[in-house]
Chains A and B, each alone.
Chain A
Amino acid sequence: GAGVSQSPSNKVTEKGKDVELRCDPISGHTALYWYRQSLGQGLEFLIYFQGNSAPDKSGLPSDRFSAERTGGSVSTLTIQRTQQEDSAVYLCASSFQGAYEQYFGPGTRLTVT
């Protein structure tokens, strides 16, 4: 079956522009997570969606970051007024509710010039 997919795979944008990153989770997975990995760092939690519950936004680094999950499936992470420090690989993961194992997509490599 299909795994988690993310688009685009690479995105280069100019400082100050807005970007949207998309995640399609595994069908049937009710939990969806966004992480980012900056150069030389581990994965940093950003936001978590579970069903119709309010998302856990505790990892979002600033109010320039927001995310939506429409219809309990596809999610979009939006970064407004991008800064160079936003350059990273943005990873999406999904899982069944309550499951410990999260399944990751290939990531979107964002470069802010």
Chain B
Amino acid sequence: DQQVKQNSPSLSVQEGRISILNCDYTNSMFDYFLWYKKYPAEGPTFLISISSIKDKNEDGRFTVFLNKSAKHLSLHIVPSQPGDSAVYFCAARKGGSEKLVFGKGMKLTVNP
């Protein structure tokens, strides 16, 4: 039973355009959400996060939106750059739990 779902395995966008990565979850007990970026042969690196008490968090070119009623979050990258090409993982955490539940990841390719 996959509690965190990234339904699109890949996305390709042109440099300078917006990248929108989507994530859905099923467990209403999740209260914190994170996005990680992973380059080949490296571990995931933390990108941005959002608490369930917010609906938006912005950090430079990266913005995460949370729609609790739809159990949906999205990561917007604008403008996209070739160096953003990587696999992006959505992760969620339940209140009182230390472990993260990850989606399967989405491969983003930003073309010059």
Interface residues of A (CB under 8 A from B): 4, 31, 33, 35, 40-45, 48, 50, 56, 58-59, 91, 93, 100-107
CB contact between B44 and one of A41, A44, A91 (< 8 Å): that residue: A91
Count of interface residues, chain B, beta-carbon cutoff 8 Å: 23
Within 8 A of A (CB), among B84-112: 89, 91, 93, 98-105
Which residue of chain A has its CB nearest to the CB of B5? A42
Residues of B within 8 A of A93 (CB): 43
Interface residues of B (CB under 8 A from A): 4, 6, 32, 34, 36, 41-46, 49, 89, 91, 93, 98-105
- 10 A-B pairs with least C-beta separation: A104-B43, A42-B102, A43-B102, A45-B99, A42-B104, A101-B46, A104-B44, A106-B43, A105-B43, A42-B103
A59 touches B99 (CB 8 A): yes
Inter-chain contact total with CB atoms closer than 8 Å: 54
Cα-based distance from A59 to B102 in the complex (angstroms) = 13
Residues of A within 8 A of B99 (CB): 33, 45, 48, 56, 58-59
Residues of A within 8 A of B46 (CB): 101-103
Residues of B within 8 A of A106 (CB): 41-43
Nearest Cβ distance between residue A1 and chain B, in whole angstroms?
15
Cα-based distance from A91 to B44 in the complex (angstroms) = 9
Cα-based distance from A1 to B93 in the complex (angstroms) = 27
Residues of B within 8 A of A44 (CB): 102
Could you name 15 residue pairs across A and B whose Cβ atoms are closer than 8 Å?
A33-B98, A35-B102, A40-B104, A41-B104, A42-B89, A42-B104, A43-B91, A45-B100, A48-B99, A100-B32, A100-B34, A104-B43, A104-B44, A106-B42, A107-B43
